[in-house]
Amino acid sequence: MDLLGLLHSRPAIACGTLAHKYLKNKLLALAESTAVALFLEQPNMLDEMKEMLREIESDFTDGYDPGHFVVDLPLLQSLDSGLRDRLLAALRREYDERFHPEKRLDELRLLSAAFVNILNAWFRQVAVAGVSAESAPLWEGLQEKTIALREFLEDRELCTRWIP
């Protein structure tokens, strides 16, 4: 693994891409009618967003694990195996205590599920009936869920693999 890949894990990159490219620049920047037109024109964007969320969730705990620095950095590979194992154990313990990967993953799953549910409901409504009074509350709810998910994904600690 190269150093940049070690620092910027797949979930970290996916968090940034999803938060900026899709949530900020599509769902939060566009008017509802423009967003409908965009999603009808490019329906694969819905699947792309959902796939990114699945990727982030599936790789989350390992993707932010700083133990990869100990395992993959050539400088640390030359350490005595006992010392390297103790360093790895201490680092992972600190990761669990300070980063709380399982708690964050649970929060991500809740935010993702809420976002996907309202996104699907809104898109079903506008695909059938277009922008209307019935879609307005769904659009408003989608905006709220999008903001909450974006705030989570843009947390400073999620920009790179966790560094103590």
Q: Where are the domains of the chain?
A: 3-158
pLDDT at residue 1, rounded to an integer: 62
pLDDT at residue 164, rounded to an integer: 82
As given in the structure block, the two tokens for residue 35 are 């967003």
pLDDT at residue 163, rounded to an integer: 87
pLDDT at residue 156, rounded to an integer: 93
64 burial via Cβ count (<10 Å: 0-12, 13-18, 19+): buried
Under-50 pLDDT residues of the chain: none
Give the rounded distance of the alpha carbon of 43 from its chain centre: 20
pLDDT at residue 111, rounded to an integer: 98
